[in-house]
Homo-oligomer: A and B are copies of this chain.
Amino acid sequence: MLRIAIAQINVTVGDLPGNQKKILEYLQKAKMLKSDMVVFPELALTGYPPEDLLHKEHFVRDNLKVLKKIAFQVKDIIMVVGFVDIDRNKNLYNAAAVIAKGKVRGVYHKHDLPNYGVFDEKRYFAEGNQHPLFLFNDICFGVNICEDIWQDEGIYLSQAQRGASLLINISSSPYDYEKLERRERLLSNRAKESKAYICYANLVGGQDELVFDGGSFVVSPRGRILARAEQFNEDMLVVDLPIDDERKKRRDSKQFIQLPTDGELIGRIVAHKNIMPRMTQDERIFKALILGTRDYVWKNGFKKVVIGLSGGIDSSLVAVIAREAVGCENVIGITMPSPFSSPETRRDAQALAENLGIEFKEIAIKEIYEVYLKSLSSGFAGLPSNVAEENLQARVRGNILMAFSNKFGWLLLTTGNKSEIAVGYCTLYGDMSGGFAVIKDLPKGKVYEISRLANNIIGPVIPESVFDRPPSAELRPNQKDQDSLPPYEVLDKILKMYVEDHRSCAAIVKKFGNLQIVKDVIAMVDRSEYKRRQAPPGIKITPRAFGKDWRLPMTNKYREA
């Protein structure tokens, strides 16, 4: 019998003293719950991903000092915790320390370093080549890190074959809307392959564009999930594992690191934490948006956020998320009508603010806009009004919002969705101005779905008219999004194939027909790369977001043959 505690914590990248404090708090909790072992996520000491902080030698040195301080506090329990290790040749390793009785007793170096999607681990780390196993009270376990268990027939299998009846995988696995199912299915299969218990300790929290969704769990050797921690929250999952020592015979004792034991803690039974039910996919998206926003705001030292409210669905959803993230007293909505704004959108913006209980301001842009036109009149003489004037309105609004941001230290949240950002239907230095782009990875169709869900969960805060009105940027008389773009149902499907799946024009046309529409959409995506490069970061929701996951050249003349 082994009582294992998974400390699913929310740490901050670089905050070594803060992370140390949190780790020690959870260490105490685990001890109070009479756990034999407490497990923390991948790189819990430094936060994940530390990126180029790893190029600072002093940062790595400081992380080792913190590890030592933590180890000194570890008595009467075993701790597994992620940190950055360094060897004498100055190679860095994404590492796990196994700590007992005040000392690091063993270290594992991650073998399989992901270097795709949002990951750049080969930029920083060398691959591990040691495979220590650990023996504690006659129970043999192996530790591995995140990707190590995703690679077929990887290190996890050899650990099991060499005698481990428990595999501890510490992870910092970023959320996307498909990830939970993939992860649980995979780990369940790995447990069956390995005929071992698997204890999966995941990080939770937001870090720039990434959200780590937690949802740590324990799987039995038959592949059954025995216990699951919360998603999108810090949590401590304590599980009694009925591990016997049947594999003893197969062991070659020289392979093991024998950990000092504290017999008295073993064998006292508490109830397992109940298995947290899975949320629906849309509930998880909503939670991810809230957590990602809250952590960006708070971890960067902001208290309040400001949002331009147009009365449309995008800014309405962002306001809802912001209120859920930081509280109504910390959200300011500003509506900035122009002569092209309808009374209905202005009214809806105000209704939303009232429903949410957030501060609401109104600043008309007409006068400012007209002085710009006057100042530009000699330069633009004789030319028809076009996108230059439309963008100017968006930029006046951006300036007003940024003026409030600068004056009061409020973080400006942008409100663009993925469909718009994909085709460049947005104004650089206008509606793209802001520090954090909450829904930049939500396609327009999903914006409606999540808005509907939000109204269902927290009450009808977004007015129904916002759902019913055709989307419009209101930058010229009677403008509708559909004047310039295909219907969003069509657009979103094309974008899914082109952006998320990197499919060809030919393949997309084969599926949806209409060569001209597909070609137009692809051309729009290709030529707005420069805008995305200057866009604020936002929360990754799909398997491929515009961020670290999407590295297209701006200078790019590729056109399909």
The chain A residues found within 8 Å of chain B, CB to CB, are: 12-16, 18, 49-53, 55-59, 62, 65, 115-116, 120, 122-123, 206-208, 295-296, 299-300, 361, 363-365, 367-368, 371-372, 374-376, 379-380, 383, 386-389, 391-392, 395-396, 398-400, 402-404, 406-407, 428-429, 433, 435, 502, 504, 506-507, 530, 533-537, 550-561
Contacts and interface: CB of A to CB of B under 8 A. Distances in A.
Contacts of A559: 14
18 contacts: A51-B551, A53-B552, A56-B502, A58-B504, A59-B558, A65-B561, A115-B123, A122-B122, A299-B557, A363-B375, A363-B376, A364-B375, A365-B375, A367-B374, A379-B407, A389-B403, A392-B403, A395-B398
Contacts of A50: 553
Nearest to A334: B379
A18 to B, nearest CB: 7
Nearest to A361: B379
- Pick the 4 closest A-B CB pairs, nearest first: A14-B558, A15-B557, A388-B406, A58-B504
B402 A556 contact: no
A507 B61 CA distance: 14
A507 B56 CA distance: 12
A1 B120 CA distance: 46
Nearest to A113: B122
Given A406-B391, A535-B534, A554-B300, A375 B371 contact: no
A214 to B, nearest CB: 18
Contact of A207 (B52, B207, B555): B555
B391 A376 contact: no
Most buried by B among A365, A367, A530: A530
A406 B51 CA distance: 36
Contacts of A556: 13-14, 53
Contacts of A367: 371, 374-375
B120 A551 contact: yes
A14 B407 CA distance: 45
A407 B386 contact: yes
Contact of A51 (B387, B388, B392, B552): B552
Contacts of A530: 300, 435, 536
Nearest to A48: B553
Given A51-B552, A59-B558, 9 more contacts: A55-B502, A62-B560, A115-B122, A120-B123, A208-B554, A208-B555, A368-B372, A395-B402, A395-B429
A361 B380 CA distance: 12
A472 to B, nearest CB: 20
A557 B22 CA distance: 15
Given A391-B402, A407-B388, A429-B399, A13 B364 contact: no
A508 to B, nearest CB: 11
A315 to B, nearest CB: 18
Contacts of A392: 399, 403
Nearest to A372: B368
Contacts of A16: 558, 561
Contacts of A402: 391, 395, 428-429
Contact of A553 (B58, B208, B368, B395): B208
B558 A15 contact: yes
